[in-house]
Structure 1
Amino acid sequence: MVCEIVLPESLRPLFRKPFGVLYEGVGGDAVRSSVKDLDNPTKLISVGDVTTFHLLESNIIPDILIVDDRTKRAPASSQVVYGTKHQGFAEVTVDNPAGVITEELISVIGDALVSDRNVRIFVNGEEDLAALPAMMMAPIGSVIMYGQPDKGVMLVRMTESKKAEIKDLFDKILEKQDHKEQFNNVRRILHGH
């Protein structure tokens, strides 16, 4: 049985609030303005094709990048798709439908975090919610960057308090799931056990 965590409609407004600092701008402008605040993170995780493309274009190499060859639910340009295929990355493909977080996605992100290689996670489906498990599992001092469509790029620095905030949000999501017992393994992975 595939374990899929569905983001309930009632909790969607919680995802509209910023988890970090929004750097406003279009395309590379937002990424370039955020670079000065990276401060040598423990891990740099990029979620989203356009954000990843502009990081790589600026010679900022994430430890982990998570892409789906799409932007704003439409196919990304061939320039962006090609630009996220960096040769220095181990490639992993994972299935993850829109609006859910699969146990497989969580597992792949966890494996990438302990890998001694840079990892490109290609999501067959949608990566929009991948930032959440990435924030849950990333070590303190890591930075997660993801796009805010038509606004800019979000930079989230993982601190103890930020981890507690994300854990609380994730626990709310898990509480809204049917058959809660099937999520015990997911809960264990996300909490680092």
Structure 2
Amino acid sequence: MLTLPDDLRGSFKDPFGDVYEDADALLADAGRPIVAVGDVVTYHLRQAGHVPAVALVDGRTEREAVDEAISDALADPEHRRAVENPPGAISEELLATLADAVDAPEPITIVVDGEEDLAALPAVLVTPAGGTVVYGQPGEGMVAVAVTPDAKAEMRSLLEQMTGDVEAALTTLGVDA
């Protein structure tokens, strides 16, 4: 549905929120609900005693398979949804599943066949204001994005610069086009 153009890649180098190395500190500062993007982030939040409302995982970290301890810890069979999402893209299936998961009464793990790296953009758009989207920043830690109107506007602006049918993507998310 949407692909990341090469000239936009630089926009993702710097974190979109505060960087944490300690999950307990992040959880103390984070609003609810929490949406986690990434296996290692999800693992650390769970190890700290918090199951994210939505977790997006793909079995990889920094393009390598996650270690067995992380894989095993995230292998719970309940409330899982499987989606396909190619690298450098955001699929319609990922958008629709993410939008549904945020509204679910129980925590949902979205297992991505492909790559979940860009999912933080639509996650901020569908997470209620006051919530937090957490994703990993390689070599730095966990980035906590406070979901505010300004954060939503920033993520929407980036999404609108992607190649593809932005209007349909926003409609799939349930966001005004």
Corresponding residue number in structure 1 for 2:62 = 72
Q: Deviations over 1:108-130 (max 9, x none)?
A: 00010111121010001111111
In structure 1, which of residues 94, 111, 132 is the aligned counterpart of residue 83 of structure 2?
94
3-state SS of 1:62 partner: coil
Q: Which runs of 4+ in 1 moved over 3 A?
A: none
1:136·1:191 contact (CA, 8 Å) conserved in 2?
no
- The match for 2:170 is 187
Contact 2:37 2:116 in 1 (8 A): yes
Query: Counterparts of 1:187 and 1:114 in 2: how far apart (Å)?
Result: 16
Where 2:8 maps in the other structure, the secondary structure is helix
Task: List alignment gaps of at least 5 residues for structure 2.
Answer: none
The residue number in structure 1 matching 2:46 is 56
- Contact residue 125 and residue 175 of structure 2 kept, 8 A: no
Q: When the two structures are superposed, what TM-score results if normalisation uses the length of structure 1?
A: 0.85
1:52-90 Cα shifts (integer Å, max 9, x gaps): 111111111110111001111111111101112346x40
Higher CA-based Rg = 1
In 1, are the aligned partners of 2:99 and 2:174 still within 8 Å (CA)? no
Distance 1:58 1:184 in 2: 38
Distance (whole Å) between structure 2 residues aligned to residue 141 and residue 82 of structure 1: 31
Q: Superposition RMSD on alpha carbons, in Å?
A: 1.6
For the pair 1:13 / 2:10, whether they are aligned, the reply is: yes
Alignment identity in percent? 34
TM-score, normalisation: structure 2: 0.93
* Residue of structure 1 equivalent to 2:126: 137
Tell me if 1:159 matches 2:148: yes
1:37 to 29, 48, 59: 29
What is the aligned counterpart of 2:36 among 31, 46, 49? 46
